[in-house]
Structure 1
Amino acid sequence: MSIDVEAVRRQTRGVLSVTHLNNAGSSLVPSPVMDTVVGHLRREEEIGGYEAAEEAADRLENVYSSVARLIGAEPNEIALAENGSRAWAMAVYSFPFVPRTRLLIGRTEYAGNVIALRQLACRNDLEIVVLDDDPHGQVDVEHLQRELERGNVAMVALTHVPMANGLVNPAADVGRRCRAAGVMFVLDACQSVGQMPLDVQSLGCDVLAGTGRKFLRGPRGTAFLYVRASVLERLEPAMLDGHSAAPTGAAGFEVRGDARRFESWETSAAGRLGLGRAAEYALALGLDAVQERVVGLAEQLRSELAAVPAVTVHDRGITRCGIVTFSVRGSEARNIRTRLAGHRINVSVAPLTSSAVDSVLTGTRQGPEMVVRASVHYYNTETEIQRLVGVLRSGDK
């Protein structure tokens, strides 16, 4: 099964106006997803918000099944949220940490997650241990194994695909080792969901957070959380409301038994429907086909960038993805982004992830080194890649 590129481009209105290579930031939403969101908002306009949600109750319920199928989970293990950081935090902040235990993280961990873990470490007298990179830039699973064997580990937190440097961390290997050691494994999959197949059973994670707006091509303000059924009862949410719990007796309460204990009552019904439609869209294309197309385009981009004398490609890893990071000698990353934007080419800038983690953990004031991030998706074309490289070759100011 392969991607019909022309067909998906016909369903991607934005390709008519921009060359969009910022899919790690936020993808161009396909028209079936946008039509789903706008269609529901129209119903809210016509009959009222509560009434439109009641009318769409079955479709809203089906979103849990769609997201669950996307990652090999069960619907009762899925909660929906407004962003990936909040989804991740709702689970992590609910963990019953024991003082003087240890948190293991990778050097490519998302800096926002590190800040949250640092707060939890201060609150609970925890030690954060940063795992080494292996020679390929991935998390060193042998170092992980040594730390697990030392014991006293509360949690391992890992970003599956870092926001820069193109690699895919060996999450399944990490998961196997965590399961063998009986240690909670939390996986941030915000950059991997939608650009490659994910299966929580194979990954071995207890918690997984994903977002809608990136490679999944859903609307902004949507995300999901997976929590393995067998660990749900260990995680009492830090915040509860009438959706996540119910009163019992004079002063008691009972937390609901599924992952929706991590949700709150008020939400965007239109956004949730869009997230579900995005999951179905990706499943219909086939995640294996998506990954094959994305990896092929990314490798073409890396190869063509490497042939430009002033360009350095910074990507590492044995397994790589659709994120390509590079710098141009004598030019700041933000200036390159501005120059490309002048040619209607969308890219982003990002910190080299190890320096970002270092700055958070050490409190250094000096900002991390910034690089240009071009992130391809299956609807991009070889011609669009050549456009980006051509602008860099021209030296156009």
Structure 2
Amino acid sequence: MGESEGWPAPRPTGAVDGRVTVPGSKSISNRALVLAALADGPSTLSGLLAARDTALMRAALAALGVGITEHDGLVTVTPGSLKGPADVDCGLAGTVMRFVPPVAALADGVVAFDGDPYARERPMHVILGALRTLGVTIDDHGTGRMPYAVNGSGAVRGGKVTLDASGSSQFVSALLLAGARYDEGVDIRHDGKPVPSQPHLDMSVAMLRERGVQVDDSEPNRWIVAPGPIQALDAAIEPDLSNAAPFLAAAVVTGGSVTVTGWPAVTTQPGGQLPEIFSRFGAEVSLDGGDLTVRGTGRIAGVDLDLSEVGELTPVLAAVAVLADGPSYLRGIAHLRNHETDRLAALETELTALGGDVNQTADGLEIRPKPLHGGLFGTYHDHRMAHAAAVVGLAVDGIAIENIATTAKTLPEFPELWSTLVG
């Protein structure tokens, strides 16, 4: 099958049995890069993810004047005087398009932002409006989208700002990460429906505190970051637990056993909830000295899950649910309509095209089991859609994945790792 016809998803002849080591967390990697760029001295990061999203972040920070060097797998970030003019390519990376503008506001000069064609459709008015409230000048031609330019003066006043972060927790994290470097710090208040992906907010706060930044999040929907230095910190990056999802799902779907190495005992990553979630699907889960093992039981139970905190896991979980023996309901994920693509519409479209019974609700998906058939599974330039397609291919002949290369966004090794595991 040619590349234009899609990548043939391998289907195992029996139960999958294997061990997988996944690279570093994209979410932690890009937060660590931003904090290191704003720190009071050089930081060395080990285990940093090497993928498109982190490459875009490194290039963005380097364009602003940050020194970034790599030797023997260690990345050293040396803060510099932030200056424009500079051009930032966001690609399709939400962390770059949301985390870098508050950093660029500290630069002296104009910083222009653009990205992939679909990135130009993603709404940015929440973060741009918040920055304007904090005293930053931005030229977006009134669109609230890319391309736009941040006109930095070398400092940001900071202070109080109210925003609606119900579309993405990244809007809050973006201001948290840079806020300590603003003259008055930042006092962020959320006004709207609940903020999704609470683990990612917990991650941002924890990483700030590790670097000596005072963050008060004792009041619901309010985060106060005190002005002051961000301490340099040499840090090791955890494995990306969300990228472990398709591999662990392989055990559930095939009735096999998959172990992911290096699983942290405590984590703020959304993927940390996967053991409980796969238990709900009927799998047996155990953690032994950093090895997380999921064993399928030969039955996939239907589930009713609130995924509001872990929305990024939805594509893989939907792929498991479509193979279950009863109906499933995935809730709390309306915000996925503004991710790399409209993930709810994409999942409904692609799984239905394979014969599935999948329908959108106001805040999620209803999935009822039906026999599936092969076909080309569209990915919409979305790495997690490709992961979902691979999971379906474990149980259905003839699944072809359009643009498997999109997995390079966070896991360039995915096709090789998947083929090795599945056989």
TM bin, normalised by shorter chain, reads under 0.3
- For normalisation by structure 2, the TM-score amounts to 0.23
Relative CO higher for 1 or 2, CA cutoff 8 Å, sep ≥ 6?
1
More helix by share: 1
